[in-house]
Structure 1
Amino acid sequence: MPSARPRLLYVTDLAYPARGRRYGDEDVLLTSRLRADFDLALCHPLDAAALMDGFDAVVVRNSGPVLGYQDAYDAFRERALRDGVRVYNPLTGRADMAGKQYLLDLGAEGYPVIPTVDRAEDLHRLPETGRYVVKPKLGADSLGLRIVTADELPALADGAVLVQPCVDFAYEVSFYFVDHDFQYALYAPDPARRWELQPYDPTPADLEFARRFIDWNTLAYGIQRVDACRAPGGELLLVELEDLNPYLSLDVLDDGGRDAFVAATTRSLRRFLTG
């Protein structure tokens, strides 16, 4: 049973060279605030498995793409599940935590997702366009992403990658949730400058769209980010459901917004530790 001041192992790669954002700054900010309620230590993802036994829970935050340390992550995950270690977000996520297969599954179930296939025999299901996106199923942070023409697709669509049309979208927008509670939304008005974010005021229809994916994922606890694009027809289409270590862009929020997010995360962690 956790002590009055639970001990958290906070997993982050402070030096990860993310394009357009600073992982380290965000985690220094968030941990400085969480220390008001928790005894907390930071560690690199490669050290998490060796250190986690001494803590009440492991909080996985800006730990970088798992593809860069897949064997170590697999070992951490296997040991945590075997030993009953509390990991936040819980390791039962069905979205990016488990790879990109969910985009195919959601599309097959009729969810509003960017058209996605993974095999050459299914390429006919994609709308015709001049350019296509090809990315690894286990990729993240644009690692391995390629822009190709239709002629190149048959040789690339081998089941290990996802193929999507390059959608001429108006903008990208992200919805941030703690547990199943909406916190804030941010968007990039200029598609060419996707990390120059601004606050976004979602409509009820926008929130209904985002909540469909949060509900689908069935995580009782944790921080999730629903990434979408505004398609030419005006509808939103899912780009990604990040349920492992979503970057939060807390620097874009005002003081009140950051305070509210920290408070929601603190409440969630306390529920998680006692649930």
Structure 2
Amino acid sequence: MKTILYLTDLYYKANGRKYYEEDLFITDRLRAHFNILIGHPQQAIRFLEHSDLVVFRNTGPVIGYQEYFQKFLEAVKDHEVKTFNSFDGKADIKGKQYLIDLTKNGFPVIPTINSAEAIDQLGHCDKYVLKLKNGADSIGMKILNKKDLLKSDLENKLIQPFIDFKYEVSFYYLNDEFQYALYAPDKAKRWELTEYEASEQDLDFAEKFISWNGIQQGITRVDACRQPDGSLLLVELEDLNPFLSIDLLNAEKREEFINALIHSLKKII
């Protein structure tokens, strides 16, 4: 059997999510088809030569080990190791600059700027959201009024209007194929998710970003918010290590997803 190096941080504490449960479930299913090495993301380089494929999963925000992650990317390239996700995306794997780029190009995304001089582009706002340009998992995020925002250090930050949305919804894709959708009916409880029946219009929205990103292989989560007028805006495009929440799926959908994942990994190696 081929060998997979499955990278995860089983001890990372995330609000509303249990990384270890999800990854232990997935690796238990994979081991019938592959030899599985479970490794920590900050100890990955030494095991690359023993692996046919690296599966980069619930590793936590790479902002906590950015220097090692860059060395890891270089080692993957030098050793010509296949990875899942592939590291050719243009979204969260490269930070949040893509939100500014998508805004400029007229995509349906929460309007995003990175300077006080451009703040009028956001229109009138009572509150603003300030985010780290290389942030993840809400690390460093602040909600500020305009006065406090303009007094803040805006270097390497993003500015967005604070939007009073109805709910958040996420669309999960394996490669470029839609798998399932989940949403948080109570917007104050982001990770209390339930299954969501995606409409044709919803998928048209999500697939704009899947097509734009164009990763070769991997799992992508399209996070969006539903506005009061019914339209969707992109919150973020997670193309590095999206949490899957597969424990919330019904048994049939969960089985379909796992089988599709196994098939995809076999096809790569």
Q: TM-score, with normalisation over the residues of structure 2?
A: 0.98
Cα shift at 1:159: 4.3
- Residue pair 1:119, 1:157 contacting (<8 A) in 2 also: no
Extract unaligned runs of 5+ from structure 1: none
Alignment of 1:1-275 (within 5 A): 5-156=1-152, 158-273=154-269
- Residue pair 2:88, 2:216 contacting (<8 A) in 1 also: no
- Residue pair 1:118, 1:157 contacting (<8 A) in 2 also: no
1:118 partner SS:
coil
Q: Deviations for 1:171-210, whole angstroms, at most 9, x for unmatched residues? A: 0000000011100000000000111101000110000100
Cα shift at 1:231: 1.2
RMSD: 1.0
Residues in 1 aligned to 2:89 and 2:60: alpha-carbon distance in whole angstroms: 17
1:17 aligned partner, one-letter code: K
Residues in 1 aligned to 2:260 and 2:254: alpha-carbon distance in whole angstroms: 10
2:114 partner SS:
strand
Cα shift at 1:126: 0.8
Q: Deviations for 1:196-240, whole angstroms, at most 9, x for unmatched residues? A: 101000110000100110111111211000000001221100000
Residues in 1 aligned to 2:64 and 2:87: alpha-carbon distance in whole angstroms: 19
Residues in 1 aligned to 2:5 and 2:91: alpha-carbon distance in whole angstroms: 23
2:37 partner SS:
strand
**Consecutive aligned runs of 4 or more in structure 1 exceeding 6 Å deviation:** none
Residues in 2 aligned to 1:217 and 1:107: alpha-carbon distance in whole angstroms: 15
- Residue pair 1:172, 1:187 contacting (<8 A) in 2 also: yes
1:209 aligned partner, one-letter code: F
Residues in 2 aligned to 1:128 and 1:156: alpha-carbon distance in whole angstroms: 19
Cα shift at 1:38: 1.1
1:16 partner SS:
coil
Residues in 2 aligned to 1:159 and 1:267: alpha-carbon distance in whole angstroms: 44
Q: How many residues align?
A: 269
Moved more, 64-73 or 127-136: 127-136
Cα shift at 1:157: 6.2
Extract unaligned runs of 5+ from structure 2: none
Q: TM-score, with normalisation over the residues of structure 1?
A: 0.96
- Residue pair 2:5, 2:38 contacting (<8 A) in 1 also: yes
Cα shift at 1:272: 2.1
- Residue pair 1:157, 1:163 contacting (<8 A) in 2 also: no
Cα shift at 1:83: 2.2
2:143 partner SS:
strand
Residues in 1 aligned to 2:151 and 2:173: alpha-carbon distance in whole angstroms: 39
- Residue pair 1:10, 1:42 contacting (<8 A) in 2 also: yes
2:225 aligned partner, one-letter code: C
> Percent identity, aligned pairs only?
48
Cα shift at 1:113: 0.2
2:254 partner SS:
helix
1:245 partner SS:
coil
